[in-house]
Structure 1
């Protein structure tokens, strides 16, 4: 080694000017990156409200083959970054929820074992099913804490065991089922069981520290007649999950704080592969259901007399009895347009039956509120007609016959895309009805402003724009 080289190794030298600049610049980059990461962590929850999170690769998972033979990615836990919503569930006695399904607890059990989807308590059938939102949301929350169960449910909402860690407090009362099954006074009763449960619920809430402190509570009252007694005592102190606002005063329930959830459809879903195109749907307009209704539903009778004699229109009375649901499903799946007309309240289950049948819904209900409308533009797959126009002789038939095959097909294709958002199932799946409801609740619960979103305003404005047809 040369003497000059030896001198370098024996005596340290100060960095040259360029090297000093490089070191200074590197330190600046390190500080800037750290600051950016800190800011990102603070805003991550907001971003997740806009863009639903994808399944994290950090979660322990295995592959599970579904009933259709496809491979599914299955999580066994949710990490801390995934949930949009942390939910605390009151331990209300089983009388308020699963006991109404006939479930018998062992000892002091509050909840059934939901680890096996094939053995969970089942919800009553028939028309009870259309308002079963309460059941699906509670099942989903209970499953979120079963770490040893192979699940494919998203981590949008999870249960927490300490109310101080929660974004919202869930009140587990099957209010719709209680009304449907127990609203009539039985022998030797002064009050119906439904009324008794509502009274006990109000007493329970008034004793809870979370309620006294004004914590946000979530109450599912999807049937328009459910919680009739308690809703006035609860007032605006809770977030409601409803079918519509038809029987609620605006100071108790409104779009600023509450969530509209879809009915559970009654007809069988049509797969995209088996969905009939334009030429395979011989019926132009389809409606089957109760024709004589109260309030805003009186328009059904007027439309019946206007449309009943049209050759390619099916407008008749129908019910769930004597294969009525199966017949309605077959009729919708072979029709181009399906009428969704206001009933006793602005909403109707037929909208969701039409969507899963890929029959373009024709919504005749001026005051209807629609699920997830801040995300979905219903004008892309529905036709909106004002009630005053619909009852003009010849108006509706002329309007629908004037919609070209190309336009109808575009709406039909969109229906096949969005129908998954209206499917209730257990375990829940990404962006199905259960997951979409949790996302809607999260947007309400975490929004600093209770004003309607710009997107909701735009979508509502699009409803009656003629250019959409």
Structure 2
């Protein structure tokens, strides 16, 4: 190489190095000056290695983990654990989660199937508690400007289940009053005003929860069971997260899971048969299948020994029918998954949790409603599934069960961990939308300052 070429190469190397250093310095300066929590968080992740995230904190407790930074409001206890009859002591807002045995428990039965906000709140409290070992998927931060998302800890499903009926001399239910207070509180907060609530996360998993407030808070990201009772302008896949129901039957261990030949029932369904709206298909299928000798299709409830009976029935069946009811989804799907009973999903409007990560066709069978109600179609289809084909879905079911378990403390890949991951996936489009709307924001502020 000639001397001139060597000088040119060195000059190019020095130019690139200096440019890179200038970019890093300017980015760090921007990070300090920017008033956008979305932008600052994103730049941190792009220009700083994960080890440096620990060192950039100035307070006494360095951040040990956390991909998603979550600011959680300290709402009064009547919005959350007070609904579980937890009574605070002194000035405390939250129960201690250091000892699992002292954590307020959630009521059982069908109440439990919509307890998503309870598990997410516990997980955020645990992120501040070094004694609790959990994944590093999300952590609570005290400064809302550092947060990627703002979490609203309102136990909306429990409020609906326990406080939606008017009693005594009341003219308005406690549930409605709590919703009205929540709207008033959020609308007054600088955190809400900053992006019009778009960076807020609100759980409304029961289809009837947040009934009075959902329109006022519709700009927020919702965690829902489905979109069955929401207009698309309020809830949609672009901004919201679908979370699994909490299953009510006992999880079957892999070692105890019955194989193909030990499951004598071809298809299993037990539940409410006569439903309104989209659920009328249940009655049609009942009339078609009730006399099939290897099909169990019967009315059932969770009362008495109902849940245990359902779990036993699913665990001894090859396929479990998951049919649309009053809403597109139900906890029956997740009961069948933890029973290792291959789900047959007959619900055209259903949205499924974590579908950006999971391919449900690997462990489920999908059937259009119009096809399912044709005489002989469904049983012919299921009887045509070979043992080898069924076994592949069964093996996959045993692998994915962990994604549909709610735990405290949370575990890697469980429902809580997966929900935080799903929220993170939504942030890119959320940031894009906010940044587009902020194009002329600084110029408008500058013009207003000049005019004054």
**TM-score grouping bracket, smaller chain normalisation:** 0.7 to 0.9
Q: 1:443: Cα distance to partner?
A: 0.8
Counterpart among 48, 66, 69 of residue 83 in structure 1: 66
- Number of aligned residues: 409
Partner of 1:398: 380
The verdict on how the C-alpha distance between 1:101 and 1:404 changes in structure 2, with shifts beyond 3 A counting, is same
Aligned partner of residue 233 in structure 1, secondary structure: coil
Counterpart among 199, 203, 212 of residue 220 in structure 1: 203
Partner of 2:442: none
Aligned partner of residue 446 in structure 1, secondary structure: helix
Counterpart among 174, 184, 187 of residue 193 in structure 1: 174
User: Does the CA-based 8 Å contact 1:78-1:155 persist in structure 2?
Assistant: no
Counterpart among 105, 111, 117 of residue 134 in structure 1: 117
User: Does the CA-based 8 Å contact 1:280-1:334 persist in structure 2?
Assistant: yes
Distance in 2 between residues matched to 1:427 and 1:385, nearest whole Å: 37
Partner of 1:241: 223
Q: 1:231: Cα distance to partner?
A: 0.5
Counterpart among 421, 431, 450 of residue 403 in structure 2: 421
Distance in 1 between residues matched to 2:257 and 2:62, nearest whole Å: 36
TM-score by length of 1: 0.80
Please say if 1:94 is aligned against 2:77.
Answer: yes
Counterpart among 309, 314, 331 of residue 313 in structure 2: 331
Distance in 2 between residues matched to 1:38 and 1:434, nearest whole Å: 35
Counterpart among 270, 275, 283 of residue 293 in structure 1: 275
Distance in 2 between residues matched to 1:307 and 1:242, nearest whole Å: 32
Aligned partner of residue 214 in structure 2, secondary structure: helix
User: Does the CA-based 8 Å contact 2:126-2:132 persist in structure 1?
Assistant: no
Distance in 2 between residues matched to 1:410 and 1:224, nearest whole Å: 34
User: Does the CA-based 8 Å contact 1:140-1:428 persist in structure 2?
Assistant: yes
RMSD across aligned positions (CA): 3.2
User: Does the CA-based 8 Å contact 1:94-1:111 persist in structure 2?
Assistant: yes
Q: 1:217: Cα distance to partner?
A: 0.6
Higher helix share: 2
The verdict on how the C-alpha distance between 1:377 and 1:449 changes in structure 2, with shifts beyond 3 A counting, is farther
TM-score by length of 2: 0.83
Q: 1:446: Cα distance to partner?
A: 3.1
Deviation per CA, 1:421-444: give whole Å up to 9, x if none: 000000001110000000000111
Deviation per CA, 1:58-83: give whole Å up to 9, x if none: 99xxxxxxxxxxxxxxxx9853xx52
Q: 1:381: Cα distance to partner?
A: 0.7
Distance in 1 between residues matched to 2:10 and 2:82, nearest whole Å: 69
Aligned partner of residue 118 in structure 1, secondary structure: helix
Distance in 2 between residues matched to 1:365 and 1:259, nearest whole Å: 19
Distance in 1 between residues matched to 2:273 and 2:115, nearest whole Å: 24
Counterpart among 362, 365, 375 of residue 380 in structure 1: 362
Partner of 1:271: 253
Distance in 2 between residues matched to 1:292 and 1:119, nearest whole Å: 42
Partner of 1:439: 421
Q: 1:85: Cα distance to partner?
A: 1.1
Partner of 1:459: none
Partner of 1:454: none
Counterpart among 174, 191, 203 of residue 210 in structure 1: 191
Distance in 2 between residues matched to 1:83 and 1:439, nearest whole Å: 11
Partner of 1:311: 293
Aligned partner of residue 345 in structure 2, secondary structure: strand
Partner of 1:108: 91
The verdict on how the C-alpha distance between 1:202 and 1:313 changes in structure 2, with shifts beyond 3 A counting, is same
Q: 1:24: Cα distance to partner?
A: 5.8
Distance in 2 between residues matched to 1:260 and 1:128, nearest whole Å: 18
Partner of 2:440: none
Please say if 1:164 is aligned against 2:145.
Answer: yes
Partner of 2:156: 175
Distance in 2 between residues matched to 1:108 and 1:202, nearest whole Å: 24
Q: 1:378: Cα distance to partner?
A: 0.6
Counterpart among 234, 240, 263 of residue 258 in structure 1: 240
Distance in 2 between residues matched to 1:396 and 1:428, nearest whole Å: 39
Counterpart among 339, 345, 364 of residue 357 in structure 1: 339
Aligned partner of residue 292 in structure 2, secondary structure: coil
Asked which structure has the greater CA Rg, the reply is 1
Moved over 4 A (4+): 27-32
Distance in 2 between residues matched to 1:83 and 1:372, nearest whole Å: 20
Aligned partner of residue 105 in structure 2, secondary structure: coil
Structure 1, unmatched stretches of 5+, are 1-16, 50-54, 60-75, 451-469
Partner of 1:123: 106
Deviation per CA, 1:241-286: give whole Å up to 9, x if none: 0000000000000000000000000001111121111111110000
User: Does the CA-based 8 Å contact 1:285-1:335 persist in structure 2?
Assistant: yes
